[in-house]
Each structure stands twice: as structure tokens, then as C-alpha cells.
């Protein structure tokens, strides 16, 4: 047999295989340049507060309108009724209503300011991290300016502020400025926050160790955690109001959830300490330590959320730092 070849179809020629060089004017080109953002630490980024969906917004808006309409109507009717009863009573009622409205406005304003302070601290942290990474002196300068304004009213930081502002004209590196700010301004606050946390944890451990019912410890842990988070936020200059506090609590919880994995090693230590103690002393005392450590974690999370500078130079507090003291407290309680 002879070899035969038959066409089976056309093979499309790979037109783009080798392309001839061509030159264009640069304005025709679409600039595609990768922007390298400085990588922020994973724990720096607190998860953003949850946004409501469309229906949620609609619900709250309409509900709000209805309630305010009802309230307005009720107030209007009340004043009318008062006037109908007695003119003086009506004037008095009107004055009281005016005062009430004023108080509401003041409260709302305070809440708004509190929320803004929280937001300022958040953005400060980001700015500081960026100034430190980029070694940007100007940006670092604005960060320290803001910090000194935030802490301007704090008598205990007078000396730290003085040191900071005294050194600033001689520093030319953003990184150095941020480091100095952290060392001078944050160090005393950190020490305070640690002391607050330790005290809270001690109380929780004691209460858990001696309380007769589990429900009481749970309630006490929650109460202490809330108080601790508020105190730490106030310490770093956030002074959260009611709504601000909810936002803070949300951030702290989110932070705890996010860093749950990161502090796993710490968690294991807690468990071991707790279990070991539980076996040695009694279940209640061991639980006391574990609950105390829970509070410690809340305290640390609150510190990380509200501290206006990231932990760069100063060591970040860890759960482990608090363990010896807690163990001692519970052991003393056992005696």
C-alpha cells in the first residue's frame, strides 16, 4: 500500500504566536500598574462594623418616623391639654418640654462626639502604622499633634507630652517619631490598662471561686467585661457613650473572634493551667482562673481596639503575663 494523505479540515493558523513589534504613543495605553500597599498587620484591621441591608434600613427609617410622629403628636396633645386645663400649667409644661428636647439634643451630640472619638482613634492607628512604615515625617507629625490634643486634658500625661513635644524638633524620621510617641505617651497608659485588666480578672476569679451558682459568675463576668472595656476605652481617650459603647463592644467581640485563632497558643496554656488547677484544687477554683483569663482577654482585645498607636515598639500584653497573679489570687482564696 502506498501512503495516502487526505485533508481532514483546516487547522487555524496561530495568528498571535509571534507578533511583530509596534510602537504606540503612551496616551493610548491604559496604565495598569500594580500599587503595592504597605502590608498592614492582620490584627490591625478590625472587622468593619456591620452595615444594614436595604430592608433593615427601611424598617428602621419608617419605624423611626412613625415613633417620632407619635411622640410629637403625644407631646403636642399633652401641651394642648395642659393649656386647656390651666394656662400656667401649659407654660410650665412647655418649659419642661423645651428642657427635655434640649437634654435630648445634648445627649445625642455627646453620643455623636463619642462615636467620632472612637473613629478618630481608629484612623489614628492606621495613620501611625502608615507613617511608621513609609517613614513619613509629616504624617507622623500630624499623628503626634492629634495625640497631644486628645491627651491635652490629662494631668498624668503632662510630663509625657512635654517630653514628646520637646524631642519632636530634633527628629527627622517618621518611624522614630511614632516610636517615641508610643514610648512616652502609650507606656503609662498601657501600664494603667494592664493594671485595670489585672484587677478585673482578679475580681472575676474571686467571685467565680466563691459564688454558689454558675449563673452568678456568668453575670459577673459579663458585668466586669463591660466595665473593663469601658474603662480601658476611657483611659485611651475614647470615652464612649451609650452607642459608642455598643460599637466598641462589637469591635471587641469581633476582635476576640478574629484573634481566637491567633491566641490559640495562649488558649492552650489557659486550658492547661485551668485544668491542672482544677484537678489540684477544686473545680471552682480552676474555673475561677479560667474566667479570670477570659476577662484578661477582653481587656487585651479592648486595648488593641482602642489604643491609638499600634503595638510596634512596646510588647503587646499577652494572657500569659496575667496567669501567675491569677493563680496566686485563687490559691489565696482557697486557704
Partner 1 sequence: MPNPPTTIADEFGIALANLADSATGLLTPTLRLGVTGLSRAGKTIFITALVHNLLTQGRLPGFAPLAEGRFIGARLAEYPDATIPRFAYEQHLASLTANPPTWPEGTRRISQLRIVLRFQSAKWWSGMRGPATLNLDIVDYPGEWLLDLPLLGLSFAEWSAEALDRAGQPGHAAEAEDFLRELEKTDATKPATDPDAERLALAFTTYLRRSREHGALSTLPPGRFLLPGDLEGSPALTFAPLPLAAARHGSLYAMLENRFEAYKDRVVRPFFRDHFARLDRQVVLVDTLRALNTGPAAVADLETALTSVLACFRQGEANPLLRPFSRRIDRILFAATKADHVHHTSHDRLEAILNRLVASASKRARFAGAEAESMAISGIRATSEGTIREGGQTLPTLIGTPLAGETLEGQTYDGKTEIALFPGDLPERPDSVFEDGTPVALNFLRFAPPQRLERIATGDIVLPHIRLDRALDYLIGDWMA
Footprint of partner 1 (CB under 8 A)? 137, 163, 167, 170-173, 176, 179-180, 183-184
Q: Closer to partner 1 at the Cβ: 110 or 137?
A: 137
Tell the smallest beta-carbon distance from residue 138 to partner 1 (Å).
10
Q: Closer to partner 1 at the Cβ: 184 or 295?
A: 184
Tell the smallest beta-carbon distance from residue 34 to partner 1 (Å).
23
Q: Closer to partner 1 at the Cβ: 177 or 221?
A: 177
Tell the smallest beta-carbon distance from residue 180 to partner 1 (Å).
5
Q: How far is CA 14 from the centre of its chain?
A: 57
DSSP state string for 59-121 = HHHHHHHHHHHHHHHHHHHHHHHHHHH-HHHHHHHHHHHHHHHHHHHHHHHHHHHHHHHHHHH
Closest CA to 100 of 67, 72, 77: 72
Q: Closer to partner 1 at the Cβ: 63 or 324?
A: 324
Q: Closer to partner 1 at the Cβ: 57 or 138?
A: 138
Tell the smallest beta-carbon distance from residue 193 to partner 1 (Å).
18
Tell the smallest beta-carbon distance from residue 312 to partner 1 (Å).
13
Tell the smallest beta-carbon distance from residue 323 to partner 1 (Å).
14
Q: Residue 94 to residues 72, 99, 314: CA-CA distances in angstroms?
A: 13, 9, 57
C-alpha cell of residue 261: 485563632
C-alpha cell of residue 154: 490629662
- Please tell me the distance from the alpha carbon of residue 75 to that of residue 82, in angstroms, as a whole number: 10
Is residue 208 within 8 A of residue 217, CB to CB? The reply is: yes
Number of H helices, E strands in the chain: 11, 0
Q: Closer to partner 1 at the Cβ: 177 or 305?
A: 177
Residue 330 DSSP SS3: helix
Amino acid at each position: 500500500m502506498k501512503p495516502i494523505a487526505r485533508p481532514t479540515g483546516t487547522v487555524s493558523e496561530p495568528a498571535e504566536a509571534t507578533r511583530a513589534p509596534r510602537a504606540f504613543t503612551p496616551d493610548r495605553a491604559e496604565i495598569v500598574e500594580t500599587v503595592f500597599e504597605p502590608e498592614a498587620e492582620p490584627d490591625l484591621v478590625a472587622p468593619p462594623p456591620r452595615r444594614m441591608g436595604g430592608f433593615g434600613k427601611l424598617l428602621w427609617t419608617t419605624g423611626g418616623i412613625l415613633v417620632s410622629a407619635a411622640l410629637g403628636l403625644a407631646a403636642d396633645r399633652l401641651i394642648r391639654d395642659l393649656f386647656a386645663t390651666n394656662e400656667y400649667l401649659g407654660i410650665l409644661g412647655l418649659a419642661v418640654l423645651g428642657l427635655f428636647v434640649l437634654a435630648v439634643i445634648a445627649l445625642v451630640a455627646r453620643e455623636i462626639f463619642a462615636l467620632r472619638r472612637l473613629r478618630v482613634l481608629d484612623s489614628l492607628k492606621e495613620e501611625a502604622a502608615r507613617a511608621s512604615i513609609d517613614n513619613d515625617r509629616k504624617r507622623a507629625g500630624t499623628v503626634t499633634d492629634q495625640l497631644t490634643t486628645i491627651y491635652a486634658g490629662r494631668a498624668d500625661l503632662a510630663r509625657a507630652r512635654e517630653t514628646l513635644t520637646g524631642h519632636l524638633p530634633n527628629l527627622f524620621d517618621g518611624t522614630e517619631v511614632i516610636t517615641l510617641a508610643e514610648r512616652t505617651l502609650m507606656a503609662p497608659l498601657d501600664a494603667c490598662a494592664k493594671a485595670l485588666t489585672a484587677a478585673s480578672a482578679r475580681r472575676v476569679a474571686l467571685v467565680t471561686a466563691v459564688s454558689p451558682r454558675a449563673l452568678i459568675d456568668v453575670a459577673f463576668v459579663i458585668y466586669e467585661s463591660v466595665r473593663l472595656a469601658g474603662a480601658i476605652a476611657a483611659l485611651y481617650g475614647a470615652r464612649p457613650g451609650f452607642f459608642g459603647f455598643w460599637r466598641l463592644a462589637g469591635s471587641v467581640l469581633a476582635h476576640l473572634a478574629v484573634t481566637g485563632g491567633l491566641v490559640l497558643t495562649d488558649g492552650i496554656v489557659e486550658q492547661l493551667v485551668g485544668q491542672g488547677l482544677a484537678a489540684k484544687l477544686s473545680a471552682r477554683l480552676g474555673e475561677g482562673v479560667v474566667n479570670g483569663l477570659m476577662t484578661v482577654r477582653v481587656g487585651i482585645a479592648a486595648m488593641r481596639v482602642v489604643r491609638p498607636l499600634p503595638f510596634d515598639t512596646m510588647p503587646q500584653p499577652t494572657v500569659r503575663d496575667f496567669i501567675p497573679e491569677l493563680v496566686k489570687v485563687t490559691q489565696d482564696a482557697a486557704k
